[in-house]
Amino acid sequence: MGRKNNTHVPDFILMGLTDSEEIQLVLFMLFLLIYLVTVLGNAGMILIIRLDLQLHTPMYFFLGHLSFLDLSYSTVITPKTLQNLLTSTKYISYTSCFTQMSFFVFLGATECFLLSSMAYDRYVAICNPLHYPVVMSARFCSHLIFGSYVIGFVDSFVNGLCMSRLHFCDSNVIRHFFCDTTPVLALSCTDTHDVEIMIFIVAGSTLMVSLITISVSYVSILSTILKITSTSGKKKAFSTCAAHLLGVAIFYGTMIFTYLKPSKSYSLGKDQVASVFYTIVIPMLNPLIYSLRNREVKNALLRVMRKGEGSGQLK
């Protein structure tokens, strides 16, 4: 694949977000801070879930994988973006560009179906609480996770297969800060119509199937909550879903805005802002959303810290 398309364009140039050196420095400091918070937040979430036995439940099993995906998602994009903000040469090799794109699609598609699995978990917990331990067994949860990763891999494989059919002649300037599908498609000197249709169908199907699953789950949840007579019961049910709904709304809102439209309508300014949001900001927000609004995670953190202090005193 590399040799076929690499004949005339051995490297790409990432235009980045701005030409101003002052703004680049500000963005570097901001993105570096966000990335550090992302790494600490998501790695911390994974660690707390693994160390605290009370969090060994289906909901936190999925949340641990969400933190892993967000950490990976951010690491695929942010380090190269930080490097380019500090250097005048913003080259990325053909192989590195398509590797970054493949991982980006894989992680994004996987997260879509992981969020669907999390919505189904909440549906069973609220609508069928008596059957919850049986339905959401460890084996079934593992199958949902495995299925999410498989779908992500298939989406990434199809995307890579479609992109491998393209030829890049002279233009090698990607008008973006990372190798995303739409701006790379714009560089092709061959007709991209069939490729665009195929990618649109695959990406659209991934987004819509997962979004429909989430929507159906939450319509059923809402219907069940409205039937609860006690105010405290309603409040508790809403609180268990609020963090997930907020995360879903932010993630799908930016993804749909960016991808479910023709590539010709790509806007350098608006789409870059949306891309910054879902590639750099959202991976930082998810652990904050799920921990700050979650008493169980806060209590688990305190238990882990006390356990660590106790172990230190015994030594």
Model pLDDT, residue 266: 52
Model pLDDT, residue 40: 94
Quote the CA–CA distance of 6 and 100 in Å, as a whole number. 16
Q: What is the CA radius of gyration of the chain?
A: 21
Q: How many CA atoms lie within 13 A of 45 on its CB side?
A: 29
Q: Are the beta carbons of 202 and 156 closer than 8 angstroms?
A: no
**Phi, psi for residue 152 in degrees, rounded to 5:** -60, -40
DSSP string, the chain: -HHHHTTT-SEEEE--S-S-HHHHHHHHHHHHHHHHHHHHHHHHHHHHHHH-GGG-SHHHHHHHHHHHHHHHHHHHHHHHHHHHHH-S--EEEHHHHHHHHHHHHHHHHHHHHHHHHHHHHHHHHHHSGGGHHHHT-HHHHHHHHHHHHHHHHHHHHHHHHHHTT----S--EESSSS--HHHHHTT-SS--HHHHHHHHHHHHHHHHHHHHHHHHHHHHHHHHHHH---HHHHHHHHHHHHHHHHHHHHHHHHHHHHHSS-GGG--HHHHHHHHHIIIIIHHHHHHHHHHHT-HHHHHHHHHHHHHHHHHHHH-
Quote the CA–CA distance of 117 and 136 in Å, as a whole number. 10
Question: Mean pLDDT for each 10-residue chunk of the chain (315 residues)?
Answer: 49 86 92 95 92 88 94 94 88 91 95 94 92 94 96 95 84 87 86 88 90 93 86 76 82 77 55 82 86 72 72 56
**Residue among 71, 46, 58, 69 nearest 301 (CA):** 46
Q: Nearest-5° angle of CA 6, CA 1, CA 103?
A: 100
Model pLDDT, residue 301: 74
